[in-house]
Amino acid sequence: MESLHKWNTNKEIGYLKEYLQIESVHPNPNYDGCIAFLKKQADMLNLPINIHYPLNKDNPIVILTWIGLEPELPAILLNSHMDVVPVFSDRWTHPPFGAEMDEDGRIFARGSQDMKSVGMQYLSAIRYLKTNGAVFKRTIHLSFVADEEMGGRYGMRPFVNTPEFRALNIGFSLDEGMASPTDEIPVFNGERSVWRLYFRISGTAGHGSLLLKNTAGEKLKTILNKMMQLREESEDRLKRNPELTLGDVTSINLTRVSGGVQSNVIPPQMVACFDCRLALDVNHTEFEAKLKKFCEEAGGGIDIEYEHKLPRVEPTKMNDSNPYWTSFKTAIDKLNLKIKPQIFNGGTDSRYIRGLGIPAIGFSPLNNTPILLHDNDEFIFADNFLKGIDIYVHIITNLANTPATKVN
């Protein structure tokens, strides 16, 4: 009970709980509540705050800025997103927006791992540094963005192409990572390319009692078999090489099938949707040619429509040619943290930052924590949250004092 009292009286944990209690959940995120909260934080920190709307007034980008001693140097961006994914409240043992804490120090809330805790750790670290009189060469921007959970359609994706983003003069970006059930913390320097596609399959229509040729159902079977064969090849690669992670291979999943008008009518069209995440070693031109060949081998009459078809983005270098990585790694080594560099299997706003040629790293100091992002009873340990603040104090200090050398 003494520990519980200690956690409940900690002001940084109090701010985290307040932020987690704001229901910025899709499909109607309460961004106004987030903005009001962040404005209070900016006032406490005596930092200027600016709000941008890259596409519409429903999806804000909130920026807090700490000007460095040499503001002409490229700045450091600490990025996080305000929105969280939907919940199934009946499957939670705690209210998903209650931010309740149990006697083990687990704070239960949607967004506790993905990724409001990280945004608050940034703010808490900045509060500590300012309170202790720290000054840095480089300017630090803290961004709190909308719509990340929907792919950044109205948030970071359009924002990186605006004059307002260019004016930030970003040299390096830090973004979210993922929890780890072990001591080892994953560090992400790249992402696979998201291709979300629909096979629109036309075929012979007729009565359900007949054995017609070239039906949409027959063609669908061929497409399914060929796509699932690609999926099995990725699974085999993972089994054969334990050094690989999911981010190193292409994932393919059937996510939707639709078609038909009546149970005794062979439909003229069926649609199959696949979510594909292309590994960095995949040639996009060759992969698209393979998809088209599948359509021909299935009998033709099949069109491919792309919902997402993102280009390959070069991963951030994790060696001495990248001075920001050197600064990051020096802090990690000083703290004796175990890290594992890898490619992120999901998608984050870092893909849009890297797409501009700006180095970006994904990192969340959530080791010894079960991976529960988007899951029921998502939680973060209070002690891990507080330790993460100290970790960011060291990382931010090093990054903001990175020498003025060019990234190769």
407 has pLDDT over 80: no
Report field, pTM of the whole predicted structure over 0.85: yes
Residue with more model confidence, 5 or 170: 170
Nearest of 177, 172, 171, 148 to residue 62 by alpha carbon:
148
Quick check: is 104 catalytic? no
Domain with residues 2-176+364-400, CATH architecture: 3-Layer(aba) Sandwich (3.40)
Reported as a single tens digit per residue, the pLDDT across 66-122 is: 999 999 999 999 999 999 999 999 999 999 999 999 999 999 999 999 999 999 999
CATH architecture of 193-309: 2-Layer Sandwich (3.30)
Tell me, yes or no, if 83 is annotated catalytic: yes
* 318 preceded by a cis bond (ω within 30 of 0): no
**Residues 250-276: tens digit of each pLDDT:** 999 999 999 999 999 999 999 999 999
193-309 has the same fold as 2-176+364-400? no
Q: Give residue limits of the domains in the chain.
A: 2-176+364-400, 193-309
Assess contact for 160 and 353: CB atoms under 8 A. yes
Angle, in degrees to the nearest 10, between helices 116-131 and 382-400: 60
Say which DSSP state 188 is in: E
| Arithmetic mean of pLDDT, 223-252 | 97
Checking if the pLDDT of 207 tops 60, the result is yes
**Structure token digits, residue 73:** 């140097």
Band (62; pLDDT cuts 50, 70, 90): very high
Are 380 and 117 spatial neighbours (Cβ–Cβ below 8 Å)?
yes
Q: Which of 12, 114, 148, 191 is catalytic?
A: 148
The residue from 12, 83, 191, 248 that is catalytic is 83
CA dihedral 111, 117, 122, 124 (to 10 degrees): 130
Spacing of C-alpha 81 from chain mean position: 9
Phi and psi at 330, nearest 5°, equal: -60, -40
299-339 confidence digits (pLDDT tens): 999 999 999 999 999 999 999 999 999 999 999 999 999 99
Which tokens sit at 184? 């080892």
Stated as kind and residue range, the H or E segment containing 172 is: strand 170-175
Look over the chain and give the mean of its residue pLDDT values, rounded to a whole number: 96
Determine contact, residues 139/66, Cβ cutoff 8 Å. Answer: yes
